[in-house]
Amino acid sequence: VNQIVGNEFCVQVEAKGAGIEEWCWLIFVYMSTDRRERYRQWEFLEQRRSSWGDGWVIAGDWNDLISNEEKRGGLARNSSSFVGFQNFINNMEMQEIAQKGSFFTWGNNRAGDGYVEERLDKIFASAEWLARFPRMEASNYFRSASDHNVLLFDTELQVNNRHKRFQFNSGWVEMEGVAEAVREGWQISVDGSALYQVHQKIKHTRMALLAWHKSHHRNQEKTIKVLTEKMTALRAEGRDRDWEQWGLVKSELDKAHLDEEQYWRNKSRALWLKAGDCNSKFFHAFTSQRRHANSIIKLTSSSGEKHIKITIRNGKSTRLNDPNWVPGLNRGSPELKVGIDGNLFWVHDLLQAGGMYWDGNLIRALFLEDDAGKILQITSLNPRAEDKRQCDLVVKGKFSVKKAYSTMLAVKMATSAVAESSGQAEGNKRARRRCWELKVMGKVKHFVWQAISVWKIAPVQWNRVLEEQLTVKQWWWWTSNMKKDDISEARIQLSTYILWWLWRARNLWIFEGQWHPEEWIVRAAVRDWIDYKCRHISG
């Protein structure tokens, strides 16, 4: 997590994780039940959108509907009451993520004519987010403890059935039979190198724990699962459900959850009594360990090692976790598939007796397939020579400023799609800065940014521009680099409003079949322009 921004109705989190190379924004909202307050909140989100970049997802309780189709029971709403929320969604240019499970997310659980269900909770995402995660899916889970369902979204949904990676649950430690399973798996006799023995012992221990867990699967978990499925089926029947059975099943499910909670509370108390009071070193160490495991300590490798290249000879001075010893690997060190600390073993442990050849079977068992293939392609093995370390910024044993500059320049050029001239680059920088300095509505400012940086379309002809097909990006670059004496600020502002309303009129015609003449577009643009100026003058 890089930063968290919060207020009374939303939390904005900038974060990234496994599979996400760039920072993304996750926004969670709880919108007001007051319609006028929601309009203020919508405007706030529209203004904040520009700071989120292209990749973002926003989810929560919106306390509003898109249409009457998202409502079951009660009085139907007037169609005009949905326009505000619909316009907000269009202005944000976001798409709702389909939900797997129940269609509705909230219910008042009242029997008879007073029964109402609505789809108040939704997850939306930007186009860039959906392009990054095309398999993203949202799941809708019923929970008896709340009148709202739980929404869970998965960015990396796997369409194929793959085996789940084994993870040891710390809650198993105090359970009966765990110690015996670990002892049985670890005491197996294995021949081979030290690293191979550790790998095989971990493998057999994992299999013993899986066998124990399968037989030890507690009945309480099954009870909660069965009762939850019954509640979901009853809720799908709407107000025609058997309300007596609904209340009975809900009571049983509540009791099952309480029993589950009490079970783990007792387990926690037993652990507390055994280890000491809550102010002991054990308690603080355990808490600190959890906090440490849930935080991101480093985002990049240490700068001191990023330019060091290692050539493997006998492998006795290079650890498995050392960076840059595998040629062609984008990240620092190869990734292990099993729970082994790479700092405890040397590359030499991966070699066959004599040190001339790799142990292919061991390497494929320990590392990811691509990483294992790159390791097996290393042909510099020599049991009589030490591993060679060389800095790519050093020439003939001395640090070279020229070499360092050329290396960094090559990296920069490799990451740039097109190299710009200094004048062109400065002009582009000025155009981007000019966009965000505009004194116009937030939605208009963001529209201009989208037009010049994403769409790159919409031919225009304005003032002294002679080109027949000039994109908005080219026009904006030309405008931003003109002298202030040649063009007024007011004219630029009004032009952006006209462009935005041209786009709005186009959308109204394509999606809603509403045609508006040019006079209507100009009047709407001038009205917005003047209204915004008056508000800022009065403020």
Measured CA to CA, the distance from residue 110 to residue 416 in angstroms comes to: 60
- Write out the DSSP string of 2-50: -EEEE-SSEEEEEE--TT--S-EEEEEEE--SSHHHHHHHHHHHHHHGG
Element holding 61 (H helix, E strand): strand 56-61
> Residue 142 and residue 131: Cα distance in Å, rounded?
29
- H/E stretch holding 209 reads helix 194-216
Cβ 27 vs Cβ 41: under 8 Å: no
Please tell me the predicted confidence (pLDDT) of residue 467: 43
Domain spans in the chain, listed from the N-terminal domain onward: 3-154, 308-395, 424-538
Q: Assess contact for 462 and 475: CB atoms under 8 A.
A: yes
CA 291 to chain centre: 20
Task: Assess contact for 508 and 524: CB atoms under 8 A.
Answer: no
- Which tokens in the block code for residue 243? 């309300």
In the 3-class helix/strand/coil scheme, how is 362-389 assigned residue by residue?
Answer: HHHHHECHHHHHHHHCCCCCCCCCCCEE
∠ CA 356-360-366, nearest 5°, is 120
Cβ burial of 469 (10 Å; 0-12, 13-18, 19+) is: exposed
The structure tokens listed for 466 are 């002679």
DSSP 338: S
- Spatial distance between the Cα atoms of 445 and 493, rounded to a whole number of angstroms: 10
Of the candidates 93, 102, 382, 117, the residue with the CA atom closest to the CA atom of residue 240: 117
d(Cα 9, Cα 38) in Å, to the nearest integer? 10
pLDDT given for residue 299 in this prediction? 31
**pLDDT value, residue 295:** 39
Contact 104, 119 (CB under 8 A): yes
Strands 56-61 and 24-30: parallel
pLDDT tens string for the chain (539 positions)? Answer: 777 888 889 999 988 876 666 788 999 999 999 989 999 999 999 999 989 988 899 999 999 999 998 988 888 889 889 999 999 999 999 989 888 877 888 888 777 777 888 999 999 999 888 888 887 888 887 766 678 888 888 876 554 445 556 667 666 776 778 888 888 888 888 887 787 888 888 888 888 888 877 665 555 667 777 888 887 787 777 777 777 787 788 888 877 777 666 555 555 554 555 545 544 544 444 444 444 444 333 333 334 445 678 899 999 999 888 888 998 887 778 888 766 777 778 898 899 888 888 988 888 888 888 899 999 999 999 988 999 887 766 666 565 666 666 666 665 555 544 444 555 566 677 777 777 788 888 888 888 877 776 555 544 444 444 444 456 677 777 777 776 666 778 888 888 888 889 888 888 887 778 888 888 999 999 998 888 888 776 55
Which candidate, 256, 248, 231, 9, places its Cα nearest to that of 107?
231
Supply the pLDDT for residue 339.
65
CB atoms within 10 A of CB 69: 9
Three-state secondary structure call for residue 87:
helix
Question: How open is the CA angle 50-55-59, to the nearest 5 degrees?
Answer: 90
Q: Which fold is adopted by the domain 3-154?
A: Deoxyribonuclease I; Chain A (3.60.10)
Q: Provide the token pair at 450.
A: 């989208």
Sign of CA dihedral 396, 397, 400, 404: positive
- 10 Å Cβ neighbour count for 462? 13
Q: How many CB atoms lie within 10 A of CB 38?
A: 19
